[in-house]
Amino acid sequence: MPAAALPGRATASSNPDRIGLSGWGNYPKVSTELLAPRTPAGARDHLLGRSGVVARGAGRAYGDAAIGTHTTISTRGLNRMRSFDAASAELTVEAGVTIADILAAFEPRGFFLKVVPGTKFVTVGGAIAADLHGKNHHRDGGFGTIVESFRLALPGGEILSCSRAENAALFMATLGGMGLTGMILDATLRLLPIETAWLRQDTRVAGNLEAAIDQLESSASATYSVAWIDCLARGAALGRSLVYLAEHATRRDQELLGPELAPFPSPRMSRLSVPELFPGWLLNRASMRAFNELYFRRGAAQQGEQRLVHWDPYFFPLDAIADWNRIYGRRGFVQYQCVIPQAHARRVLADILDRVSRRGDASFLAVLKQLGDGGGPMSFPLRGYTLTMDLPVSDTLFAFLDELDALVVDAGGRLYLAKDARQSRATFESGYPGLAALRDIRQQTGATTRLVSHLSARLGI
C-alpha cells in the first residue's frame, strides 16, 4: 500500500525504506519502516524477527501510540468481514475493518454498535487496543464490553484466542493496552439490535460548568449524554455548555416525530474538506469566539423540544469535515483529554477551564462526558468526568500542559493514551496503577523489547 494512501500525515524520508509518519494530531512526525500486509497470516509473519514494532489501524490515535520505533505494521489490508449470526448478533471481522464499515453494512439491517467513539473512522483493532469509550460509558462501559473474543499474534509468531474465559489475563490487558500485548488479527463483536437508527435528542443549556455537571448527574439515566463546552467563556459563564441527551428512537417515536423519515437512514458523506495548506492563523481567539457564540445560540434555541436526529452527526460530528485535523496548521495540535475522579471534578475542571480560557488557545469542539469504571488494567476511564480539548502546537504549549498535568495528578486523574503525544513518564505512572499488570504480561509474552511504539518508549511501558 503506498504511503500516501495511509491515514495520518506521511512524508518522504532520506532512507528509502522509511517514511515520516504522524498521528491524527500531525504531531509528532517521526521516521518508521512501514509494512502493509493483506492477510492475518502476513501480519503475523511481519512480527517475526523484528523489534520496535507496533500495529497501526486508521491512524486516528492523535499522538505517537501507533508508530513503531523501527517498524509500523498497517492493518488496513485486514478489512474483511468473516461471519455474522443474526440470532446472537455476533459479528466476526478482521482488525482493519472500521466502525464506518460495520455501520454501513449493518445499520440498514437494524443493528448498531453499542459503544462508539467520536469518529467512525477507527478500526476494530484500534478500538480494542484503546478500549474506546463513547457517550454512554457511564451506563454501558467501554468498547471492550462488546468484544466477545479476538485472536492475538504474539511477537514470537504464536496466535492465541483470547476471551474472558480463554487467556483471560491477556484479553483484559489488551483492552486499553495500546497494541503492546500483541497484534489483534480479528475479533468477534456483539451488535445492538435497534428499531430505528434515529436518536431522540433533548438539548439543555447550562450557564456554567457547575450547571453542566448538575445536568449530567441529574440525567445519568439517559443512555447517551455529552456536553459541548465554550472554552473561551469566563467569569460567571466559565464552562457554559450545551448538554445533549439521547436515546435510540423506537418506531413509535419516529411515527410521532417524523413519520415521513426512513427508519434506517444511510450514513452521511463528508461534504467539506480542509485543504492541506490551510492557514492555521485563521483559527484565533476572535474567530473562535464568534464560532462559539453562534454554536451556543443555535443549540440554546433547541432547548425544550424533542427532536429526531440522524445517528451520524450525533455520534460523529466532526466526520462531516474531511481532514479537519488540518485546521490547526502545519505544526499540528495536541488533543488533551484527562479524566478527573468525581469527588474533585468540579474544582479541578474549573481550574483547567479558567487557565485555558485565559490562555486563549480554545478548542472549537471541547467536550465533557461522565464516565463509569474502567475495563482492563490500562483502560483510560475511571468514575468521574473527562474533558477533551484540541490545542495548537506552539512554543509555549507544552509548559502550559505540564501545569494542567500537575492538576490532574494531584486530583488522582490521568491522561488518555490514545490522545497523548507529550506527557511525562512521571505523570503517566501516577495515573495508571494497572501498569505493573501490563508489564508482567509483556514480559511473559516476549513483547517488552519487541512491541515498542514511540509512546511506549517515551513512557517506559
Q: Is residue 28 part of a domain?
A: no
Domain of 150, CATH number, reads: 3.30.465.10
Q: Are residues 188 and 125 in the same domain?
A: yes
The mean-pLDDT minimum among 193-197, 221-225, 312-316, 360-364 falls in 360-364
Q: Are residues 167 and 296 in the same domain?
A: no
Domain of 272, CATH number, reads: 3.30.70.2520
The per-residue pLDDT for 5 is: 39
Q: Are residues 186 and 242 in the same domain?
A: no
The predicted model gives 163-177 an average pLDDT of 98
Q: Are residues 233 and 163 in the same domain?
A: no
**CA–CA separation, 158 vs 195, rounded Å?**
42
**308 within 8 A of 199, measured Cβ to Cβ:** yes
Q: Is residue 455 part of a domain?
A: no
Q: Are residues 377 and 336 in the same domain?
A: yes
| Number of compact structural domains in the chain | 2
Q: Are residues 210 and 254 in the same domain?
A: yes
Q: Is residue 273 part of a domain?
A: yes
Quote the pTM value.
0.93
**CA–CA separation, 265 vs 191, rounded Å?**
18
Buried residues in 318-353 as b, exposed as e (16+ CB within 10 A): bbeeeebbbbbbeebbbbbbbbbbeebbbebbbebb
**44 within 8 A of 33, measured Cβ to Cβ:** no
Query: Grid coordinates standing for 373?
Result: 469504571
**CA–CA separation, 379 vs 416, rounded Å?**
9
Q: Is residue 40 part of a domain?
A: no
- Match 505544526 to its residue by C-alpha cell: 331
Q: Are residues 392 and 285 in the same domain?
A: yes
Burial of 426 (C-beta count, 10 Å sphere; 0-12/13-18/19+): exposed
List pLDDT tens digits, range 91-104: 999 999 999 999 99
CB-based contacts of 385, cutoff 8 Å, min separation 6: 213, 216, 339, 340, 342, 345, 349, 368, 369, 370, 371
List pLDDT tens digits, range 44-61: 999 999 999 999 999 999
Q: Are residues 190 and 202 in the same domain?
A: no
Q: Are residues 101 and 250 in the same domain?
A: no
Residue 15: pLDDT band with limits 50, 70, 90: low
Q: Are residues 155 and 282 in the same domain?
A: no
The per-residue pLDDT for 3 is: 32
Domain-terminating residue out of 194, 212, 238: 194
**pLDDT exceeds 70 at position 81:** yes
Cis peptide before 259 (omega within 30 of 0): no
Sheet of 414-415, strands arranged across: 307-310, 198-206, 241-248, 224-229, 366-371, 384-392, 333-341, 414-415
Residue 362: pLDDT band with limits 50, 70, 90: low
The per-residue pLDDT for 275 is: 78
Q: Is residue 331 part of a domain?
A: yes
Domain-terminating residue out of 194, 213, 230: 194
The predicted model gives 149-165 an average pLDDT of 97
Domain that holds residue 238: 198-426
Q: Are residues 148 and 204 in the same domain?
A: no
Domain-terminating residue out of 172, 194, 216: 194
Q: Is residue 51 part of a domain?
A: no
The per-residue pLDDT for 305 is: 80
**CA–CA separation, 276 vs 279, rounded Å?**
9
Q: Is residue 344 part of a domain?
A: yes
Q: Is residue 211 part of a domain?
A: yes
Query: Grid coordinates standing for 198?
Result: 434515529
Q: Are residues 260 and 175 in the same domain?
A: no
